[in-house]
Amino acid sequence: MDIEFSQDDLAFQQKVVSFIKANLPRGMEMWTKRNEWFQALRDQGGWDIPKWPVEYGGPGFTPTQRYIFDLEMARHATPPQIPFGVGMLAPILMNYGSKQQIDRFMPGIRDGSVNWCQGYSEPGAGSDLANLKTKAELSEDGSYYLVNGQKTWTTLAHIAHWMFCLTRTSSAGAKQEGITFLLIPMDDPGVETRPIITLGGSHSVNEVYLTDVKVPVTNRIGEEGKGWTYAKGLLVHERTGLAGIQNSVLALEKAKANAREIKAGEGSLMDLPSFKNKVGALEAELLALEFTELRTLSQVSAGQGPGPESSILKLKGTEIQQRISELNIEAAGIYAAPWGATPIGPDFARGATSGYLGGRATTIYGGASEVQKDVIAKNVLGLG
């Protein structure tokens, strides 16, 4: 049992940190120089696609290198990648796509020229995703599917060129059967996108209405009726990614720094017993969660699958994200009340409430916490 990284791993860590320091855009450049950053990653030999296999251009990281890479990227708050193409569709394509589909779609994903969105959730199919109703009927000549239905909570649908989409081709058998995985161009006249403004006041999710959209069978991934199998593996993957533990470490440090600037009596808010204790309780759990992620990594490095403790990462990680965002509104005090662009009160207070409200989604999307607990109880603890 050894907590230290090997010399090789430390050298790799050094390399990653140096790269970040040399290439990371600062301040407002975060938004304007995004593309340059991803190009620099690409130029390193697949650092933009750290999880891809070597044959598709991935960098071939060991599990420990992957962890170090993710850790340093998070620690330095590098710009997040939009996950739908690179992270979500690509693995499915690589595993289940035809040679033709791979040749057609992978390049646009690889160079970031094509934006994808994920058409899974529906008004009646959220946590219970297999309940989806969007209908895809095969034409008589078997050349296309006619798709009708509604998707919702579709992140970035309004800037996407394509959607990968779960549709129902049969209602026989279990809900999980009869689901088919289709790729749909967003510029089809039957596709209509309407914005949803969320609690935090922002527009990133949408409703997508599909009316008589004709999707050629060549846009179907794998077999008809097997879509659930293809998508399922990824859902699990999506969940661990949502723990955002390193982001929380940064966010908590920021929250503490902000609270130190808020005058409260003789000292700062960080001297106020109730606030201080909440910070402490949270930080202790975060320390523990951070190391839980390492335990998971260590098992994967040792060639075992992730152990049962990996199941807690999303559950606890999102809870901690939310508690940090609560600290921020508490620290903002009366300045948690102003809304909108006018700068009122301390800088951090401006985004505190919208961050808190927007963050309520983390325990709902990607498997609501209640559903996560059902799953852990059943699959890990053998309950019911």
Partner 1 sequence: MDLSLTNEQQLLQDSIRKFISTQYSLSERNKFIKEDQGYDSSNWQQFADLGWLAMTFSEEYGGLGGSTVDSMIMLEEFGKRLVVEPFLSTVVLFGAAIELAGTPQQKQSLIPSIIEGKLIGTFAYAEPVEPNNLSAIQTRATAEDSGFALNGSKSLVFNAISADKILLSARTSGEDFDEQGISLFIVDAQATGLTRTDYLTVDGLSASELQLKNVRVESDDLLGSLGSAGGLIQSLVNKGILGLAAEAIGTMEVLYKSTIEYTKQRQQFDHALADFQVLKHRMTDMFVDYNLVKSLCMKATMLEALGAAEAQRNIHALKYLVGKTGRFIGQNAVQLHGGMGMTEELAIAHYFKRLLVIDAQFGNTDHHLNKFVG
339 binds, options partner 1, a second copy, none, Cβ within 5 to 8 A by partner type: partner 1
Which of 76, 276, 360, 373: binder of a second copy (CB under 8 A)? 276
Residue 316 in contact with partner 1, rule: CB under 8 A: yes
Q: Which is nearer to a second copy, 231 or 270 (CB)?
A: 270
Which of 27, 189, 305, 382: binder of partner 1 (CB under 8 A)? 382
| Residue 182 backbone dihedrals phi, psi, to 5 degrees | -120, 155
Q: Which is nearer to a second copy, 51 or 276 (CB)?
A: 276
Alpha carbon 28 to its chain's center: 23
Contact present, 130 and 176 (Cβ < 8 Å):
yes
Q: Which is nearer to a second copy, 170 or 277 (CB)?
A: 277
Residue 273 in contact with a second copy, rule: CB under 8 A: yes
| Nearest-approach distance from CB 274 to a second copy, in angstroms | 5
**CA–CA distance, 121 with 126 (Å, rounded to integer):** 5
Residue 154 in contact with partner 1, rule: CB under 8 A: no
In order of 187, 345, 347, 351, 374, the CA distances from 341 in angstroms are 33, 12, 11, 9, 41
Token pair in block for residue 18: 């140096």
Stretch that binds a second copy, among 240-248, 260-268, 274-282, 287-295 (CB under 8 A): 274-282
Residue 342 in contact with a second copy, rule: CB under 8 A: no
**CA–CA distance, 372 with 369 (Å, rounded to integer):** 5
Residue 277 in contact with a second copy, rule: CB under 8 A: yes
Residue 274 in contact with a second copy, rule: CB under 8 A: yes
Stretch that binds a second copy, among 52-60, 142-150, 208-216, 270-278 (CB under 8 A): 270-278
94 binds, options partner 1, a second copy, none, Cβ within 5 to 8 A by partner type: none
Report strand pairing: 162-168 vs 116-119. Answer: parallel
Q: Which of 219, 220, 203, 196 is nearest to 123 (CA)?
A: 196
Residue 54 in contact with partner 1, rule: CB under 8 A: no
DSSP 8-state class, residue 217: G
Residue with tokens 């060639």: 303
Three-class SS of residue 216?
Answer: strand
Contact present, 245 and 294 (Cβ < 8 Å):
no
Contact present, 77 and 250 (Cβ < 8 Å):
yes
Residue 128 in contact with partner 1, rule: CB under 8 A: yes
Stretch that binds a second copy, among 212-220, 273-281, 300-308, 346-354 (CB under 8 A): 273-281
Residue ranges in 247-286 that form contacts with partner 1 under rule CB under 8 A? 263-265, 272-281, 283-285
DSSP 276-316: HHHHHHHHHHHHHHHHHHHHHHHHHHTTSPP-GGGGHHHHH
197 binds, options partner 1, a second copy, none, Cβ within 5 to 8 A by partner type: partner 1
Residue 1 in contact with partner 1, rule: CB under 8 A: yes
Q: Which is nearer to a second copy, 202 or 277 (CB)?
A: 277
Q: Which of 78, 83, 18, 70 is nearest to 290 (CA)?
A: 70
Q: Which is nearer to partner 1, 142 or 384 (CB)?
A: 384
Long-range contacts of the stretch 257-265 (C-beta < 8 A, 24+): 258/328, 258/331, 258/346, 258/348, 259/327, 259/331, 261/346, 262/331, 262/333, 262/346
Question: In which element (H, E) is residue 213 found?
Answer: strand 203-216
Residue 135 in contact with partner 1, rule: CB under 8 A: no
240 binds, options partner 1, a second copy, none, Cβ within 5 to 8 A by partner type: none
| Nearest-approach distance from CB 224 to partner 1, in angstroms | 25
| Nearest-approach distance from CB 198 to partner 1, in angstroms | 5
DSSP 8-state class, residue 367: S
| Nearest-approach distance from CB 382 to a second copy, in angstroms | 21
236 binds, options a second copy, partner 1, none, Cβ within 5 to 8 A by partner type: none
Given 72, 122, 238, 319, which residue is catalytic? 238
Q: Is 238 a catalytic residue?
A: yes
Active site amino acids: 238
